[in-house]
Amino acid sequence: MPGRGMPMSRLKPRSEYEKTGSFRFWRWLAGSRDPYVGEVEMKAQIPKEPRELTIRERMQERQELLTRVYDIENNKKIAFFHRIYVLAAVVFCLCFAGILVAMVSMLPPTGEADRPVNNEVPARYIESGLQETGAVNIVTGMILDYRAFDTFGESNVLFAATTTVLILLHEKKKKREDGTFEEIPSDRLLEPKQDAILQASATVLVPVIILFGIYVILNGHLSPGGGFSGGAIIGAGLILYLSAFGFEKTEKLFTEKTYKYVSFGALTTYCLAKSYSFFTGANHLESHIPLGTPGAILSSGLILVLNICVGMVVACTMYTFYVMFRKGDF
C-alpha cells in the first residue's frame, strides 16, 4: 500500500521494486517506516498515571517503601546481605588499592627523562612543531594540527551530549484552547529576585570574564589556553549574567536558534577546514595557508580558525547545559 512519502519507481513494478535495497533506503530516509519495529525487541516505558495524592497518603506510601527497603530488624535476609555486601566492597577496594600501589612501585621513577613514554613522538613534536604548525604553544599545535581529527570528534561528542540533554530535559509547552502556548513555570520563583549585590558584581565581572575568554581563545597558539578553556570561561560568564539578570535579558542574546546556528556553523567550518585534504590527495594534513611569523596573532595557519570554532562550540554547550538544567527550555 503506497503511503504518503513512499518511494516509487518508474522502471520496475512495485512488487519487484520493494525487494531492492534502494527502496528500503529511501523508505528509511522518508521516515515512513521505523526499521527497528518488528526487528528489535523493544519495551516501551509504562506511562505513569497522574494520580493526585494528598500529602498524608504520599507520606504513608513513602513509609511503606522505606520499610520494604530498609526493614533491617525484621528482615534478616536483607540485613545479612547488606552486611556481606559492605564487607566484600571494603575488602575488594583495599585489595584493589594494594594491587595498584604495588604496580606503581614497579613503574620507572617519575621525573626522569628516559622513561618509555618519552620516545621519538614527543621529540618530533617539540623539535619540528614550530616549523610545521607555526604554533608557539606545542600542546595547541599538537591537538589542533597533528591530531585535529581527534579534537573534531571530541567537539562532536560535546554536540551529541548537548542534544541528549536537550531531549532528556526538554519540557513541552502545553497548548491552550485559543492556540497560545502556556508559559512554562520558571524556577525564578525559587530564586532571590533582583539581588543588588549579585547584579552590581555581575555588571563589573561579566564583561571582564567574557573578554578574558576571548583573549584565551585568540591567544591559544601563543600562550596556555585555547578553545576548550576559553569557551568554558565565556560559558561561565554567560551563566553569571543569566543568574544575575534572569532569562528576559539573556533571551535577547542567546536563544535555541543561536545555539543551533552557532554550533552547526562552527562544526561545519571545522569539518570543511580539516577534511578538504581528503579531496586533495589525503597525503597529509598540510594546509596551504602561510604559517606567518611565530608569535604573531595572525599566524600558524588554520589553528586560529579551529580554536575559534572549538571555543564557540564549548561556550554554547556549557551555557545550554546550564539553561536546560535550570528551566528545561530556552
Partner 1 sequence: MGNLLVNYGEAAAMILFVIGFSNLLLHKNLIKKIIGLNIMDSAIYLFLAEKGYIAGRTVPIVVDGVQSVEAYINPIPAGLVLTGIVVSVSVSALMLSLTIRLYRRYHTLDLDEISTLLKKEGV
Partner 2 sequence: MTLFQVILLLFLLVCAVSVSFSKNLLNSVLIYMSFSLIMSIVWVTLQSPDLAITEAAVGAGITSLLFFATLKKIHAIDTLQRQGRAIQDPQPDGEAEGDRQGKAAKEESREPAGAGKGDAHE
Give me the residues that bind partner 2 (CB under 8 A), please. Answer: 55, 58-59, 62, 66-67, 70, 72-73, 82, 137, 139-140, 185, 187, 189-190, 216, 224-226, 228-229, 232-233, 235-236, 239, 318, 321-322, 325-326
Residue with cell 575488602: 91
What amino acid occupies position 208?
V
Please tell me whether residue 65 binds partner 1 under the rule CB under 8 A. Answer: yes
The enclosing H or E element of 131 equals: helix 120-133
Q: Name the DSSP letter for residue 190.
A: G
Grid cell at residue 299: 599566524
Question: What residue 187 binds from partner 1, partner 2, none (CB within 5 to 8 A, per partner kind)?
Answer: partner 2
Q: DSSP 3-state assignment of 56?
A: helix
Please tell me whether residue 73 binds partner 1 under the rule CB under 8 A. Answer: no
Question: What residue 291 binds from partner 1, partner 2, none (CB within 5 to 8 A, per partner kind)?
Answer: none
Inter-residue contact 245 to 266 (CB < 8 Å):
no
Which of 123, 145, 177, 184 is CA-nearest to residue 304? 145
CA 189/CA 183 separation, integer angstroms: 13
Q: Cβ of residue 129: shortest distance to partner 1, in angstroms?
A: 8
The binding track of 288-307 with respect to partner 1, each residue x by CB under 8 A or -, is ------x-------------
Which of 312, 314, 329, 313 is CA-nearest to residue 165? 329
DSSP 76-87: HHHHHHHHHHHH
Residues in the chain, overall count: 330
CA 64/CA 75 separation, integer angstroms: 14
Question: What residue 84 binds from partner 1, partner 2, none (CB within 5 to 8 A, per partner kind)?
Answer: none
Q: What angle do the packed helices 196-218 and 303-326 form, to 10 degrees?
A: 150
Contacting range for partner 1; rule: CB under 8 A; set: 19-27, 143-151, 199-207, 262-270: 143-151
Question: What residue 218 binds from partner 2, partner 1, none (CB within 5 to 8 A, per partner kind)?
Answer: none
| Residues in Cβ contact with 181 at an 8 Å cutoff, skipping those fewer than 6 apart | 173, 174, 175
Considering only residues 156 to 185 of the shown chain, the ones binding partner 1 according to CB under 8 A are: 157-158, 161-162, 164-165, 168-169
Question: What residue 308 binds from partner 1, partner 2, none (CB within 5 to 8 A, per partner kind)?
Answer: none
- Point out which residues bind partner 1 (CB under 8 A): 43, 46, 48, 65-66, 68-70, 86, 89-90, 92-93, 96-97, 100-101, 103-113, 115, 117-118, 121-123, 125-130, 136-139, 142-143, 147, 150-151, 154, 157-158, 161-162, 164-165, 168-169, 223-224, 226, 228, 232, 294, 314, 317-318, 321, 324-325
